[in-house]
Amino acid sequence: MKTQSGITQHQTKAMRLKLERWTSLMGPLLIVTDEDGVLRALDFGEHESRMERLLRDYYGDYTLERGKTPAPVLRALQDYFDGKLEAVAQVKTATGGTPFQREVWQALRSIPAGTTMSYRQLAAKIGRAGASRAVGAANGANPIPIVVPCHRVIGADGSLTGFGGGLANKRWLLDHEARFACVPGRAPNLL
């Protein structure tokens, strides 16, 4: 059966997603995975409505049921909070979004833990030097913070600027990474 838009009904089947509420070192996190165990969304407990809006924007019709997060995803997150910052680099992710947004999100994953980059630098990194505002908008629409580290992007003057999870959470993540990161040219922090 075709709808007014010409899409057959079987093509609009709702994506089935699982949600686990997990308590991290920084507070409650919302972890959303698909039927294959791939991470689709991650957000801070107090930002559930933002997460749901992004899921609607990227997937349209979806179902969200309580479920367990696959052990490798939880282990990587726990390792990250335990100071093994690169553990989240191996987490498989998938997102909706435009090709440009996905390009920005992929570039975010290449910013080393313990370092930051300005929106302008990130735009230049993806070969779009004049697109810092568009990069900022894509950064703000990232559905998988921490794993796709949008918190590592700051203002050109070094200031903390917008973060969907709130500036206090951005500061916490940057401070956490500064404690544990091994950045070339900087003595390790032995706290």
d(CA 72, CA 187): 31
Helix (H, G, I), strand (E, B) or coil at 166: coil
Q: Tell me the C-alpha to C-alpha distance, in Å, between residue 190 and each of 80, 83, 97.
A: 17, 11, 40
Catalytic residue among 54, 150, 173, 181: 150
Residue identified by tokens 């933002």 is 50
Distance CA 147, CA 69 (A): 15
Q: What is the DSSP letter of 36?
A: T
- Angstrom distance (rounded) from CA 3 to CA 7: 6
Q: Tell me if residue 182 is catalytic.
A: no
SS3 at position 159: coil
Return the structure tokens found at 38.
Answer: 């791939």
Half-sphere exposure of 94 (CA within 13 A, CB side): 9
Q: Which residues are catalytic?
A: 150
